[in-house]
Each structure stands twice: as C-alpha cells, then as structure tokens.
Amino acid sequence: MKTDVEELSPTRVKLTVEVPFDELKPNLDKAYKELSHQVRLKGFRPGKVPARLIDQYVGRGAVLQEAVNDALPDLYGRAVQESEVFALGQPDVEITELQDNEQFAFTAEVDIRPKFEVPDYDGLEITVDSVEVTDEEIDQTISNLRERFATLTNADRPAEEGDFVSIDLSAKIDGEDVEDARTSGYSYEVGSDSSIDGLDEQLTGMTAGDSKSFTSTLVGGEHADEEAEVTVTVHSVKIKELPELDDEFAQLASEFDTIEELREDVRKRLENQKRAQQLGQARDKALEALMDKIDIPLPDSVIEAEVERRNEQLDQQLQMYGLDREKYLEQQEQTAEEYDEELAKDARDAVKGGFILDQLALQEELTVENEELTEYVVSNALQMGVQPDVLARHLTENNQIPAVVSEVLRSKALNLVVEHVKAADENGAEVDLAELQRQLSGETEEAEGTEAAEATAADEAGEKAEAEGEKTDA
C-alpha cells in the first residue's frame, strides 16, 4: 500500500492511497461468503452458492463494492498510522480508482492536529486569590448549621416574613380547574419568593383557616405563563426557632464540646476549601499563561463539534430543571448573540488547551499507568454516586477508555506546568503550589480513609443492634 500526504492547510491534509488489488482478497472472500447466505438459488443451500453464480446473479460490481466498504476503515487507519498524522474527526473519503484484479485507490481529506512544539514553561508567573477566612464567613457557616437544627413551633398569630405555613393551592382559568396547579399540604416559607408571583404578599397577615384568591401567572405545566385565579388556604402558621449558639449546640451539631472548638474546626475547613479553590484557580491560570505563549491554527470542524457538544450538554441540563433556553438566558442576563459569542470563545480555548496539553504529554513522554486509570474511575464514581465497577463497565462497553486515558494524560501534563510556575497571591505572598497539591492530596486520602472507617463502624454497630434485636425477639 502506498500513501502520499498533501497538506491542504496547517490543520487539514489529503491522503492519496493506492492499494494492490491482492490486498482486497480477504475482503472479497468475506463478501462472497456473506452474499452466498443471502442469495437463494435452486439446488444450493444458503452459504454454498459458488462465487461464479453470485457474479452472474448479483453482479461482480456489487461484490467489489461490498469488499471495498469492508476494507476501507482498516486501509484508512493504516494510511493514517504510516503517514504519522494525528487525524481528528471523520474523513471525507472518495474512491478514485477501482479496476477489477488490478488497482484500487482512494483519497481521504481529514482535519489534523497542528504541528508545533510547546516552548519552555519554567517560571511562568501567575497570581491567585489569597486564602483568608473572615469571621463573617465563619459566622455564616455556623448560621447555616443552626438552620439545619432549627425547629418549627405553632404560632397563634398571623403569618409574617420568615414563618413557615402549610397551605393548599388551586387555580382556575375561565372558571375551569387547572389540575396540575393543585397542591395540598405544601410547606412554604413566607418571603422566600420561591413560588408564583403575589403569593408572599397574600400570605402575610393570614392565619390558620384563612383563604384568599388572587390573580397571578402560572409558572409550569400546560398553562405556564397564563393568568389564572389562584386560591390559597392556610392550615397552619409555624415559627422557626434556631438553637442557642452555645456549647450545648456545639455538642448537638458536632463532635466538639465547646462552641470555640466548633468555630476553629469551621475555620480549618473553610481554609481547606479555599486552598482547593486556589489550586484549581492556579491550574486554570497556568494553562492560560502557557496558551498566551503559543499561537496555533485550530480546525473549524473540531471547534464546531465542541460548540455542538456544549450546547447539547446545556440543553440536557435545562431539560432536567424544566427550563428552556430563553428563560436560562434571561436568568444569566445574556442575549442569544452574547451567549453564542462566549460559547465560541470557550470552545476555541478548550480545543487549543487540549492540543497544547496533548503535545506537552508527547514531548515529556508521559504515560498512564493502570493504577492511575483505577484512581480516575474510583474518584469519578464517588462524585457520581455509583459503584466503581459499574462506571468501569460503562466506560469499557461504550469504548470510552481512550478518552479517559487522554484526560488523565492532559491532567498529568497540566500538573507539570503547575509545578514550574511562580505563583503569588493578591497580597504578594509566594504560593508553593507543589506543596499545596501534596497537602490537599494527603487530606483527600485521609478524609476518604476516615469516611471508610466511619462507614465500617456504622455497619458494625448496625449488625450488633440487629443481633441484639434478634436475641430480644427470641
């Protein structure tokens, strides 16, 4: 097989491939075998029809076409490998010559990754956010914790902002009930503005047993965005009471004995969160700094595919939350044109960054070990809430292992860049990112070990309780 490569542009090539006809023999034999099972001729069992009769009744041309279609994927793959081009996406293939028993030739135009070298990245300078935990942030975190331990008590008074009410809602349009707008026993926080327009204003001042009707616009169902007469009935009014911020609360909400110990633990946790955010920010900025040093052409088809992928992902997420694109853009305070422009830029940056990290992995001869693939699967399975073996099977069955390998390689390449940058926070203090990364990795492993130990202890306690229960029953 002979392959010539013509560079159509820095990101697209044309492969001209000439194949000796003898190389098609296995594919021709396969085509005859398959057609012999399809052709029905008197006196011949399926699969036993001779090739000469298949040529006579089906036509040699049909056999050749079947053989060529079967051979093309492998021949194209060999041509790409022998030419040492990094093909992207699907090729445009054209058969240029097919002479029976003589010659077969085809051309394939395909986008490729541009050829370039990643320059020296040692000493790139970046600035990241500082890690500072304020008293206000600690207070807010503890306040959120208090909310989780709040209790609701009946109030013998009209509803006020911040109260929780149990209500029934119904709606009518032109005197007809709207079934999907009816709900009973709905617990609602007055003033949260999380339901239909006007509900909070109506509830304020209502007491248990009161009913009111008002006009509002429905927000979901078949009659979304239509005006309706809404009726609300209050069954109960309850006051939310927060626990006192004292040592007793610390013992209730945590493993600590005093409120000061709880505050110190919250401070440490917030610092760890900010360190993780700082490292993530450093990774993004390190890649941006490296991208600024490199100017490479990008294939339009790859960018278009990335844009399409991101649009599909957004549409799936919006569908999950019952939103459409128009309402989403309204929430983001963006026009469709602004969204498309931002999406195109993000897609170009993602494609360029991917190319750079791929090339860096090649230059540094990075590889992926089985342990690293296992770590990737376990980590992602935990985030997704599935068993690692389930995710591993899904990735294998859907031929996604090469994509996982590529992602792990890119992450390792980016780690290299991060280790070589000079990072400082907003206050000018130097940030040792390599040490930060080691600290966070250790904390993650320690946390996972603690969770596993706690889970084991809980299981053992459950088994013990179950055993005690069986003894009592006996």
pLDDT, position 224: 84
pLDDT in tens, 234-264: 999 999 999 999 999 999 999 999 999 999 9
Instruction: For residues 11 and 354, give the distance between their C-alpha atoms in angstroms, rounded to a whole number.
Output: 15
Is the domain of 93 the same as that of 168?
no
User: Which secondary structure element, helix H or strand E, spans residue 90, and what is its range?
Assistant: strand 87-99
Is the domain of 303 the same as that of 446?
yes
Q: Is 197 exposed, middle or buried (0-12, 13-18, 19+ CB in 10 A)?
A: middle
**3-state helix vs strand vs coil in the chain, percent to 5:** 55, 20, 25
Residue found by looking up tokens 């013998």 in the block = 156
CATH number at residue 438: 1.10.3120.10
- The pTM (predicted TM-score) of the whole model is 0.72
The β-bridge partners of 423 are: 126, 431
Residue 474 falls inside a structural domain:
no
Is the domain of 387 the same as that of 419?
yes
Please tell me whether residue 17 adopts helix, strand or coil conformation: strand
Residue 268 falls inside a structural domain:
yes
pLDDT, position 46: 66
The two beta strands, 125-128 and 422-425, are parallel
CATH number at residue 10: 3.30.70.1050
Residue 134 falls inside a structural domain:
no
Residue 337 falls inside a structural domain:
yes
Is the domain of 217 the same as that of 305?
no
Q: How many domains would you assign to the chain?
A: 3
Residue 473 falls inside a structural domain:
no
Q: Residue 218: CA atoms inside 13 Å, Cβ hemisphere, count?
A: 22
Tokens standing for residue 447: 């946390």
Residue 136 falls inside a structural domain:
no
Is the domain of 309 the same as that of 230?
no
Is the domain of 267 the same as that of 366?
yes
Calculate the CA dihedral of residues 272, 275, 277, 282 and round it to 10 degrees: -160
Residues of the chain with pLDDT under 70: 38, 41-43, 45-49, 57, 442-474
Phi-psi region at 191: left, alpha or beta (left = phi > 0; alpha = psi -120 to 50): left
Is the domain of 216 the same as that of 256?
no
Note whether 284 and 414 are within 8 A (CB).
Answer: no
Is the domain of 309 the same as that of 360?
yes
User: Which secondary structure element, helix H or strand E, spans residue 35, and what is its range?
Assistant: helix 25-38
Is the domain of 70 the same as that of 182?
no
Residue 471 falls inside a structural domain:
no
Is the domain of 269 the same as that of 413?
yes
pLDDT, position 188: 95
pLDDT, position 454: 38
pLDDT, position 102: 80
pLDDT, position 47: 60
CATH number at residue 159: 3.10.50.40
pLDDT, position 443: 52
pLDDT, position 220: 77
Last residue within a domain, chosen from 61, 87, 112: 112
pLDDT in tens, 401-460: 989 999 999 999 999 999 899 999 999 999 998 888 888 876 544 444 444 433 433 343
Last residue within a domain, chosen from 219, 241, 263: 241
Please tell me whether residue 230 adopts helix, strand or coil conformation: strand
Is the domain of 259 the same as that of 358?
yes
Last residue within a domain, chosen from 241, 275, 291: 241
Is the domain of 104 the same as that of 47?
yes
pLDDT, position 100: 84
Residue 14 falls inside a structural domain:
yes
| Domain span holding position 211 | 151-241
User: Which secondary structure element, helix H or strand E, spans residue 142, and what is its range?
Assistant: helix 135-148
Start-to-end C-alpha separation, the chain: 81
